[in-house]
Structure 1
């Protein structure tokens, strides 16, 4: 229960930081975020500029994430999807409760600080095994269905946001949106990891127990290689498993529970050939 409570607290803090970044920095400067949050901002800007009514950012963010959450619940798993959708709910509430305040008239400062604050919230949410919903859940589903670079889908969606913003509200705002995306990406990479796929090599004396525990949490294949300690000559096993970055938290948690003395090396995986998923 304490683990769940900590996770919920991290999700709430992450959602609060994202809302602060949007309402204090990005929205007043008309600088757009990435993914579904950026789409929600864009819908709000379009409604203010061209429609007789406004579309609240928090409401549109929530509605966009409902079908994605259902897809994640069916295809990924309940735990990840639950915490991710919880993040969306709190972020939607904070966006409506926190007033929109212009902290600085400088658009570059807004883009940089908004990107940093949002990225801190996203990075720590990812690090604790959840996400901010939207494209993160889509990326998880795609990684389970097809072994293709999910970065392509992120790029395509963000390109649509930037081009639309440029055409409707001026290309200067679109260029500052690129600055915000770059800053937030770098900060998320520093807090969590920039690699979409990772290979974990686990040296353990409890290979059977660890295999069972990992398979209960993750739908990934595991290769077991006999190993021996060079200094002690103790027989051990090395478990090799390839995961996505969204599964890193669950893997770390399982290893700590089953064998805290296990030695784990996590490295970047640049490419996969062969069968990756296990459904």
Structure 2
């Protein structure tokens, strides 16, 4: 029950944050967002239609598709997020009068950051605010299309419309805002607690593992492999560490086996004992 309430609390917070970014930073400078929200903002600038009300209306056919193709649970979550986001956009419309940033470039960057944080919270807890989120889910489930390409094509059309009505400058600023928002969304979804994974191939795995345990305080997993050319059995050390521990492990490995083969990779998010759970810091 706590997880359920926490999930919907975070989705709610994400919707409120994302809606605030629209009225506080985008609308005052005639900037747009992507997808359905971007279309709604265009019609708001042209005809004065409420942005939130438009978002609900435009999402009705998309939610119907989600219910039919993606299931009841996804549709219910989408309806909740869509209605909340739409209501929040219209409820915070008064913020557009504040215009805290006079510089359009700063406004587009700040708006993109805040929008990305809000969207990231929604996606991190498997929520949806409708629009292109539904299209993405359908594309992932039924088609082999790359959704990034589909999303880019849709937003490109929106930007062309924006350039036609509001000028190329505002269209470019909108693209900057969308780029910043997309990157922040990924960061929030993946997590900021980034680690490094190491694969170490050596004939002295016992000494290297012992050094990592004692000197770095991290556990390691021994994987078994075979050389493609020599057909010799090899033991591979797999270990997850923080960024600050990389240099120390490199020195330890070089001291034990200067000929060791080591690969360092990014880990977007690490969960489990030693990283997100209390207890020993050894991971295996």
TM-score range, shorter-chain basis? 0.5 to 0.7
Match of 2:65 among 65, 71, 84: 71
Preserved CA contact (<8 Å) 2:18 2:118:
yes
Determine the structure 2 residue equivalent to 1:60.
54
Preserved CA contact (<8 Å) 1:58 1:91:
yes
Separation in 1, partners of 2:129, 2:87: 14
1:131-173 per-position Cα deviation (integer Å, ceiling 9, x unaligned):
2211111111122221111112101110111111111111110
- The TM-score with structure 1 as length reference comes to 0.66
Determine the structure 2 residue equivalent to 1:96.
90
Superposed counterparts of 1:238-277, under 5 Å: none
The RMSD of aligned alpha carbons is 2.0
Please say if 1:127 is aligned against 2:121: no
Please say if 1:152 is aligned against 2:149: yes
Preserved CA contact (<8 Å) 2:113 2:181:
yes
Separation in 1, partners of 2:74, 2:106: 34
Separation in 1, partners of 2:105, 2:117: 18
Preserved CA contact (<8 Å) 2:52 2:87:
yes
Preserved CA contact (<8 Å) 1:14 1:87:
no
Separation in 1, partners of 2:3, 2:60: 26
Determine the structure 1 residue equivalent to 2:134.
137
**Unaligned runs of at least 5 residues, structure 2:** 192-221, 225-270, 272-284
Determine the structure 1 residue equivalent to 2:40.
40
Larger Rg: 2
Determine the structure 1 residue equivalent to 2:212.
none
Cα offset for 1:193?
Answer: 4.6
Separation in 1, partners of 2:107, 2:78: 26
Match of 2:181 among 177, 180, 184: 184
Q: In the comparison of the two structures, how many residue pairs are matched?
A: 193
**Unaligned runs of at least 5 residues, structure 1:** 48-53, 195-228, 232-251, 253-279
Preserved CA contact (<8 Å) 2:13 2:121:
no
Determine the structure 2 residue equivalent to 1:207.
none
Determine the structure 2 residue equivalent to 1:14.
14
Separation in 2, partners of 1:39, 1:230: 52
Separation in 2, partners of 1:167, 1:126: 32
Please say if 1:164 is aligned against 2:164: no
- The TM-score with structure 2 as length reference comes to 0.64
Separation in 1, partners of 2:119, 2:223: 41
Cα offset for 1:80?
Answer: 2.4
Preserved CA contact (<8 Å) 1:81 1:137:
no
